[in-house]
Chains A and B, each alone.
Chain A
Amino acid sequence: MTENPNDLDQPEERVPRRVIGTPPPRGDDSVLGTRPATDEPIVYEGAKFPDPVTARRGERVAALLFLVSFIAAVAFIVSYVAFQVGTIDRTQVSNLALGASLTVALLSLAAGVVVWVRQIMPKYSLVQERHPMSSPREVREEVEKTFLQGADESGFVRHKLLRRTLLLAAAPLGLLPLVLLKDLGPLPGTSLRHTVWKKGRRLLVEGTSQPIRAADFNSPGGILSIVPDGYENNLNALAKATLILIKFRPEDLKPGTKLNWTYDSIVAYSKICTHVGCPAALYEQTTHHILCPCHQSTFDAADGAKVIFGPAARPLPQLPIGVDGEGYLIAQSDFDVPVGPSFWERGDAEAEARGQA
């Protein structure tokens, strides 16, 4: 080559003209060792070439597909520049343009390669021998010998003290990473047994964060999702303290509901399902069913939210409520049992609560 690689107008006799895309002439070194000394024809054993007509047709089809792919790839770049995002509709157009061009580019390239393989490359029936995976006997024996020899040289077997202290040293090392993980989080303590509800805390309507008067929540069959005052955006608090508030006709309430924890036939239950903690909030006012959409545990809201179907084992805990001086609904205390899913240390908190009452 000349020193100036950009010099395209070289005399023809020095560098033969080449069509773009054809491979350059080989150099002096062959890819694997030296160049074959003679021009031995390559023997294609087990390969059957397609007839030239098929191959030519295949070439045309593949070339067409490659061309389509090229155009689609260019269209992708054009689409990237031409279509901006920033609104739903513009994003839709951009996604469609980029995606469709990418899809066409990839699929027609794939199809072209398949046509190439199927119509231009030969059909093969090559056979190769398999050998058993295991090593020959002599090799195994030699490895065994080497292993024993090495073990002997190392003195690991003979020197007992060395061996035992080494094992001793290694034992606790595996524990270190586990110890390091301790600070991932605090210990649970009794935090799972309490929520942020306490006497006098107002009930706020989720979504509006407004307190609510008992007198305003006056349509039987009504339901509201409730968050605690002061914690309406605190997800950790909401994960345990969210309530559903249901207004009943007085005659609909059944003995399972603690009547002195209600106010004017308004009942508050924990919204957190006692199965695995989804918000159980599908309320049917005709049947008083509360259904959890995750695993379909169903609770009877009129009867202390006792379980009538599904995998939940315990009723939704009821929160004692009342009103303050201005008539707004407030909590009378925290829940008397832990809310949400069961855990190992929970025990039969319901029985304990009954015992205290």
Chain B
Amino acid sequence: MSLDGPPKAIAGPANFIDERIGAGTFLKRNLRKVFPDHWSFLLGEIALYSFIILLLTGTFLTFWFKPSMAEVAYNGSYGPLVGVHMSQAYESSLHISFDVRGGLLMRQIHHWAALLFVAGMMVHMLRVFFTGAYRKPRELNWIIGVLLLTLALVEGLTGYSLPDDLLSGAGLRITEGVAISLPLVGTYLTYFLFGGEYPGEDVISRFYSLHILLIPGILLALISAHLILMWVQKHTQMPGKGRTESNVVGAPFYPSFMAKSGAYFLFTFGVVALLGTFAQINPIWLFGPYTPADISAGSQPDFYMGFLEGSLRIMPAWEINFLGHTLPLSVLIPALLPMGIIMTGLALYPFAEQWITGDRREHHLADRPRNNPHRTSIGLAAITFYGILWLLGANDVISSKFHISLYTTSEVGRVVIFAGPAIAYYITYRMCIGLQRKDLETVVHGVESGVIKRLPNGEYIEVHVPPAEDLLALMQGKKSIPAIEAASDGEGVPPKGMRNPLGRIRARLSEAYSADTDAISLDGGDGHHNGHDGHEAPHAAVGAGGDEAKSIGH
């Protein structure tokens, strides 16, 4: 059956609201807003829905959690700790785990959702980076995203510390050690944070306020801004048939995208619940209560802080003493530099790219990663840099589980942290070029059909057929990377702004950044002039419609 009009239960309230705020105009414009379809466009929703799950489960946890460092003797259900002195925070966390029905499940879901929150942000960010979706007009949203990621790390760190178990205490101690090493303000900052000497009696309740109020509030505001901007600017789309810079092709928000998003929320919740049910996370009862005198082997932070742990581990022992002051470089450099490089690099990248390419146009068609090889290589180099540090954050586990000497892992790490990104850059660059060539091959020659044909002269060839329309359109969506004028103009006098040293660097960069991309041109038949010789002719001839296919892109 189908409706002959809106049902009364919806019509009534809708009418009520429209008469008061005029929602109809908004809905008319937005109900059928088009959302492009690509699986990678849903990755950001992992983070969004994890955040919602975090709010829900976190609220549940606050009903029992006591953010206090007052000492109590445990007298709950967990036998092996009965009679042990501990903080109220730890005691109430044990209470949630063992004496509240569903408490353990909610704790585990909360923690898994936290990991997926950050991981979801990371994969979403990588998708945006590699497809160039941060370009004008979306730079602001990109910066909001970088802020969100930074805040998520702080949110994770404060939450990790709350149960006040031995493992989280180790993280807290390292936080203190890093904070106190800051020149000039370090000791003051530490004393203000901990209310005096470490660990004091205040830090848990202070982290609690930050964790459940201030940071989530800012996160919520920034996430809303992030979504509103996305809505207003419309989503980017992958290149393809009928897709241009001035349109957006896809499914309507209502009902299709709404249903898909709803399903994806349920999937996210379902996967987090699956993990929370079958994979134990942060078993605080096994760690014991915190005391600054003890520590466990393999004390690691959650994965998103692992890169800081790794960089602290491979740092040589550098420390400078001068005029009665101490500059502990072996703490400052690894704690601040990698984070600084990654976050600043992320925030500045859209503007740096604009400066280098001189490209001030709006972009709504996503790039395929292979079609901007330098960007992709920079991304892979950054991933390698981060990944190596992250891996080194677990070098003790690697050492003991795979029987590699501990020092060897650190020493190898000290070299690989510089060599790895460079190698990754080179390999990625070659791969991008190779993939572009493969695309060219497909556009020009078609795809293998599996049919072998014998030519009159006795030669066997495989018949190539033109690729599917949408694949072809995707490949031909490739755009050349613009360069500023000084770079493309080889002989003449460079333009005015390009004569100073900075201008020359810019010109050099611009030339390099756009190099190699015009060499492999996929739009139309130009590809044939690209260093291919005669023997390709039969293939193209057999693949009937190959020429026709080539002209589709225009």
Residues of A within 8 A of B (CB): 22-27, 29-33, 35-36, 39, 80, 83-88, 91, 94-96, 98-100, 102-103, 106-107, 109-111, 113-114, 116-117, 121, 124-130, 132-133, 181-182, 184-188, 191-192, 206, 225, 227, 233, 235-236, 238-240, 242, 271-272, 275-279, 281-282, 293-297, 307, 309-314, 340-348, 351
Contact = CB atoms under 8 A, between A and B. Distances in A.
A57 B10 CA distance: 29
Contacts of A129: 246-247
A342 B274 contact: no
A277 B177 contact: yes
Contacts of B435: none
Contact of A282 (B10, B255, B297): B297
Contacts of B202: 184-185
Contacts of B178: 276
Contacts of A80: 101-102
A277 B14 contact: no
B186 A278 contact: no
A313 B319 contact: yes
Contact of B99 (A85, A113, A130): A85
B62 interface: no
B326 A344 contact: yes
B48 to A, nearest CB: 15
Given A88-B78, A276-B173, 17 more contacts: A25-B7, A25-B8, A36-B5, A99-B105, A99-B273, A103-B273, A113-B263, A125-B249, A126-B252, A278-B170, A279-B292, A293-B298, A295-B315, A313-B330, A341-B328, A343-B180, A347-B324
Interface in B144-187: 170, 173-174, 176-178, 180-187
A185 B15 CA distance: 56
Nearest to B249: A127
Q: Is the interface of A mostly helix, strand, loop or mixed?
A: loop
A101 B261 CA distance: 22
- Residue of A25, A26, A191, A344 with most chain B CB atoms under a 10 A cut-off: A344
A206 B331 contact: no
A35 B15 CA distance: 12
B71 interface: yes
A239 B197 contact: yes
Contact of A106 (B188, B191, B269, B278): B269
B6 interface: yes
A240 to B, nearest CB: 8
Interface string B309-335: 100110111110101111110110010
B396 A185 contact: no
10 nearest A-B residue pairs (beta carbon): A276-B177, A99-B277, A313-B319, A110-B266, A106-B270, A23-B7, A107-B270, A239-B292, A342-B328, A113-B263
Interface centre among A96, A125, A184, A295, by most B CB within 10 Å? Answer: A295
A233 B319 contact: no
A30 B313 contact: no
B33 interface: yes
A207 B246 CA distance: 71
Interface in B267-295: 267, 269-271, 273-274, 276-278, 290-295
Interface in B198-244: 198-200, 202, 233-234, 242
A127 B248 contact: yes
Contact of B247 (A85, A128, A186, A309): A128
A353 to B, nearest CB: 13
A58 to B, nearest CB: 13
Given A23-B9, A279-B295, A127 B242 contact: yes
Contacts of A186: 191, 196
B441 interface: no
A341 B327 CA distance: 11
A15 B294 CA distance: 74
Given A95-B104, A341-B331, A191 B197 contact: yes
A188 B173 contact: no
A99 B276 contact: yes
Nearest to A280: B295
- Scoring B1, B15, B173 by chain A CB atoms within 10 A of each residue's CB, the highest score goes to B173
B233 A133 contact: yes
A162 B28 CA distance: 48
A132 B262 CA distance: 30
A155 to B, nearest CB: 34
B292 A235 contact: yes
Contacts of A294: 170, 174, 295, 299, 309, 312
Contacts of B318: 313
B174 A277 contact: yes
A25 B9 CA distance: 9
B524 interface: no
A202 to B, nearest CB: 16
Among A80, A128, A186, which residue has the most Cβ atoms of chain B within 10 A?
A128
B85 interface: yes
Interface in B389-411: 395-396, 406-407, 410
Given A293-B298, A294-B174, A313-B318, A235 B27 contact: no
Most chain-B CB neighbours within 10 Å: which of A107, A126, A239, A341? Answer: A341
B98 interface: yes
Contacts of A307: 317
A340 B9 CA distance: 67
B259 interface: yes
Given A275-B331, A343-B187, A239 B105 contact: no
B103 interface: yes
Given A99-B278, A127-B242, A276 B191 contact: no
A19 B174 CA distance: 63
User: Which of A87, A109, A239, A345 has most chain B Cβ within 10 Å?
Assistant: A239
Contacts of B103: 85
B195 A185 contact: yes
B256 A117 contact: yes
B523 to A, nearest CB: 21
B294 A31 contact: no
A184 B191 CA distance: 8
A91 B24 CA distance: 51
Given A225-B294, A313-B328, A126 B406 contact: no
